[in-house]
Every structure is written in C-alpha cells, then in structure tokens.
Structure 1
C-alpha cells in the first residue's frame, strides 16, 4: 500500500476546493520547488493552466493578514494596468481562499518564463528589469493608494548597530565558531566607517520589497513576470533597485558595472533616479540586510539565504570601491 505524503494530502484537498470554487477539472499537477515553506503546483486543467499556491501556516504567522490582502489588491491593480505580473482569481470577492481543511491558498495565472540564476542575467534582461521596476514603482506610487503609515525600515543608530555586532561576536565565541569572527569584524568596521550622504534613505513609497531573481521570470531578452508581492508595503522603493541590482549583476564576487548601468538606464525611462542614488541605495541595503543574513548561524545557511549572506558580505567589503565603480551612475 502506497503511503500518501503530507504534500499530496494538501494537494488533494486544494484540488477539491478549486474544482468546487472554479468548476474546472484538474488533468495534471506539477510541483514547483521554489520558495520557502509555501507549496506550489502548476495545474493543467480543462479550463487552462494555473498556478496554485498554498500558504504554510507557520510562515503565515509572520504576515499581517490585512496587509497581505492589501498586497493582493495592488498586484491585481498592476495587472489591470498591463504590468507583467500574474492575475489572481477570486471567488465571491475573496482572493485568499480557504479549503475544507483550513488550508489557505491562491489560484493565479500561470506565467511562462525562466528563472535566471543570481548574477547571470544578460544585458537585455537587466535593462528590461530596470524598466519594469521603474514602471512598477511609478504605478504603485501614482496617488491611487493613500499613505497611511511610516516606512517599514527604520534604521537603528550606528551606536546600536555596533553594540549588535559586539553581541554577535560574543555568541560566536560562546559557540566556538571563531572562524567566523573576521566576517563580523568586517561588519563592525564597515558600520564604523560608513558615511551616508543624507540621514534619510530617500523618497519613501510603496515597494515590492522582495525583488530578487527567484521572484522574476524572463524570456530570452525580456522580462516575463514579476512574482510574489506578499511583502509589498510602504517603505523605500530605491531599496528594490539595490536588491535587484545586486541579485542580477553580482557573480563570483564581481559586480558587472555594465549590467548595473543598463538596469539604471531602463529604470530612468519610467521614473526619476538621481545620479548617486544607486550608491546610497546599496549602502542602505547593506545596513538593512546585514543583521538578517550575518549572524552566529551563518555557517548553517544554504540556498537563497546563503546567496543573500554572500551579497551582504561582498557589499561590506566593497562599499569604498563602489564609490569609484558607480561614480557615473
């Protein structure tokens, strides 16, 4: 007797709900192995091809339910405006649906395209990603959404951050991981020496907040779709720019400045981006994300988190050189 896996049980439950809500028959299911904890499948049905996304209950606790629903409405607004992102399907006005066993899920348009590994985008793809990012920011901040809150990212003081790195070093010594101490020393020294042009990050606004290569699909020369708006909130759009740039143009510890330049060129077609803004954005990205990815369990990271930590380590080691590398941008 074949044992049914927990994933198969979830899928069976969701298919029953989808058939009930939308009236189609599922002919084939193909699991999609991307993302953390949430389960995804490509559904081939008698009514077309869809993507089914289950929300893991543990991961869902990290989200504000109302903010998540709001992000879905904005994704739909972008889609209606012609922006390349998946259409979300609703039933009785509800986008985030619940199965008979209490599983929360989305049914969305399946978008064709390829995920490109970090740092491996070509110049056409980087240009189109820049143009799409600028257009997304322009649409999200066109005045349709009333500003109701302060930005999510509220930087700690330099004094607080230095204290943080001292504590991480103490934890590493307690764990006997002295081989990681040089990485923390670099974070500490970079924090001591970093200079921002302004005390503020730049213009605040609505942003994607998870704009890296695993959330972007491409055709050969152009962007196919931007995915996963779950983290969309009021923050600093230029941090999206920094995240996309470092994700798309950093390969084997080398930043391809030409790829960076074509991204910025594409972005400026849709939205104003002053000279020097990219350098400041990358500095703030390092300041924001360094405490996320550089910690006492750094040696246990794998997959996306390992890539993120490598990006942050590279930034901490190269911020001074970036002032020269990006001086024309």
Structure 2
C-alpha cells in the first residue's frame, strides 16, 4: 500500500493500520486487508484507468446508499466516512475508500448447497426490500453501462451487425446473428412490464460471501443504481443454478422461496429474470474481444452463460410444478 494512503488513513480516519496484505480481485483496482486495533479493514484504491472523477462521484452516491442499507440490517461491509464523504481524494488524484473486512468464502454452481441458495434468495429479496425504502436517494434514470431499453438493445445489435467482417471470430458472428433473431421475438413492452427499482447490479459470485449454510455478506456496491432488480435475480440463477449445461430446479426453487420471504417472486418470474439478464448482458459479452483465446477467468463463464441462454431461449418458462 502506498505510504501516502497509510498516512491519510491516519490523518483522515484516525486509524493507524498494520498487518497490510494484498487481496486479489477488483478489476484494475487495488485491494488491501489491514488491521486497526481490533478492527479488520479492507482498503480499496480506485483505478485511474477505469474511473474518471465523474464516475467516482456516481460511486460515492452508490456507497452512500450502501451505508443506508447497513442501517436497515443488510449484511454488507461497514463503510467509513471522513466528514460526510466515503471516497477520499489525495492531492495527486489518488482515490480510495475504507470499509470493514467481511469474512466468508465464495461459492459457485458446483459448490453451493440448497440451504445456501435459499439464504442467497433471502439476502437478495431483503436487499431489494431495503433498496425500495431509499426513496429520493437516487435519480430515476438508467445507467450508461448496458442495454436497458429495447431501443438501445436493438441499436447496439444493429451497429454490431453492420460492423461485422469476415476476419472476426466465427463463433462471435454466429452468436451475434442468433441474438438478432431473439430480439425480433421479444415483445416491444418487455422492459416496461418488469419491476423497476434500485439493484445491486453486480450480484455475482465474487461479490457474495457465504458461511456453511447461508450468506455471510453481500459486497461491492459500486454499481448499484436505479435499474431492474430482477437482473440481480437472473444473474444469481445463472451463476449458481446453471450446472454443466442444465438448470438445477431444486436450487432455483430454494432461491425463489428465500426471495419471496421479503419481495414478490414466483417460479414463473424466473424466466423473465433470465431473459432480462440476457438483454442487459448481451452487449457486454457478445463482443469480438470476448471470442478470442486471450479471454480467461470469469469473463469466459459470463460469455458461456449468455450463449447458453441464447441456445435455450425457448425453454425459459418454469411451471409451478417444475420441481
């Protein structure tokens, strides 16, 4: 960790930190675990490459909402403020924040058990219920990072089709043409009939910590914004219930049962949540760069999940007796 950050934590937060170790994760950001007396902290330094001052101001608003969620009892890291602000800016432009370090481990579709899946649904539902109480705390406009309307989705795919060349990966070209065919089937009011509200918007395995039977904490609220909460639902189902090319209906039912403890959700709604996730994430993962050998790690998983939805689009209806 930079000495200037260590010094600023002492000056700004009144904490002398020690036992500093690097934490993996956080695309281009830098993360460190540290001790301050009996407190375990996580320090996050934001990438200058990824984040302009304008984007960091939006993240500040997102983190302020996270602080409100903690007050409502959502299991998430405590964020430390200096004055009224959470993100600290140093004279050289360095931007960082300090939060509590959360214990727990990451799970995936192969390792998560049914009890954890029900707890995940409950955590997601309670998160959305708490978000719904933050009236007036967020501008009701959709964020810039995704296809959140039918028009924007259609425009993106048409632009990509016009830019197709024969030297692009064949798998990408096939995927793009399949996506175009699906969009033509979608009803024009598809987005309009879905619930709107504040969503986590990064409800992925990296940002969910578990203990043996349930969720320990939901982390990384940087992207939370006014959106479609069912995107969090669809992303959770894709990440944790899609196993070896098949959906695990027992895990889906467990998630729905947990979610419905706090917010309305039925098994039939899961199909629309998955379709919504496809609509939002297609512009992210159906890109030429995502079909090159250099793509590795979780990005490959996300691409394959969107391709799975593309292939199984006609099967995304879940009757009540599916389990």
Q: CA deviation digits over 1:104-123, x for unaligned, max 9? A: 11110111110113553211
- Mean Cα displacement is larger for which, 236-245 or 183-192? 183-192
Matched, 1:271 2:255: no
Which residue among 142, 151, 154 is the counterpart of 1:156?
151
Contact kept? 1:196, 1:280, Cα under 8 Å: no
Answering whether residue 19 of structure 2 is matched by residue 28 of structure 1, we say yes
Distance 1:119 1:57 in 2: 36
Correspondent of 1:311 among 288, 297, 305: 305
Distance of 1:84 and 1:260 partners within structure 2: 22
Unaligned runs of 5+ in 2: none
> Is 2:128 aligned against 1:137?
yes
Distance 2:139 2:154 in 1: 30
* Cα distance between partner residues in 2 of 1:105 and 1:325: 47
- Separation in structure 1 between the aligned mates of residue 14 and residue 306 of structure 2, nearest angstrom: 47
Q: CA deviation at 1:161?
A: 5.5
Asked if the contact 2:197/2:226 (under 8 Å) is kept, the reply is yes
2:173 aligned to which of 171, 181, 193: 181
The question of 1:231 aligning with 2:226 is answered: no
Within 1, Cα distance between the matches of 2:15 and 2:154?
58
Check 1:134–1:219 CA distance in 2 against 1; reply closer, same or farther (3 A cut): same
- Please state if 1:48 is matched with 2:39: yes
Q: What corresponds to 2:234 in structure 1?
A: 242
State the shift of 1:304 in Å.
2.3
Tell me the number of residue pairs that the alignment of Structure 1 and Structure 2 aligns. 317
The correspondence of residues 1-329 of structure 1 with structure 2, limited to 5 A, is 10-61=1-52, 64-142=55-133, 144-145=135-136, 148-152=139-143, 153-156=148-151, 160=155, 163-167=158-162, 170-171=164-165, 173=166, 175-194=167-186, 198=190, 200-274=192-266, 276-298=268-290, 299=292, 300-323=294-317, 328=322
How far did 1:176 drift?
A: 4.9
- TM-score with structure 2 setting the length: 0.89
Q: What is the rounded CA distance, in whole Å, between the counterparts of 2:250 and 2:39 in structure 1?
A: 40
User: Residue 289 of structure 2 contacts residue 295 of structure 2 at CA under 8 Å; is this kept in 1?
Assistant: yes
Q: Which runs of 5+ in 1 are unaligned?
A: 1-9
Distance 2:139 2:200 in 1: 17
Farther-moved stretch of structure 1 (288-297 vs 189-198): 189-198
Which deviates more, 192-201 or 131-140? 192-201
Question: Once structures 1 and 2 are overlaid, which stretch shifts more, 35-44 or 148-157?
Answer: 148-157
> Is the contact between residue 271 and residue 318 of structure 2 (CA under 8 Å) also seen in structure 1?
no
User: CA RMSD for the aligned pairs?
Assistant: 2.5
In structure 2, do the counterparts of structure 1 residues 164 and 62 end up closer, same or farther at CA, with 3 Å as the change threshold?
A: farther
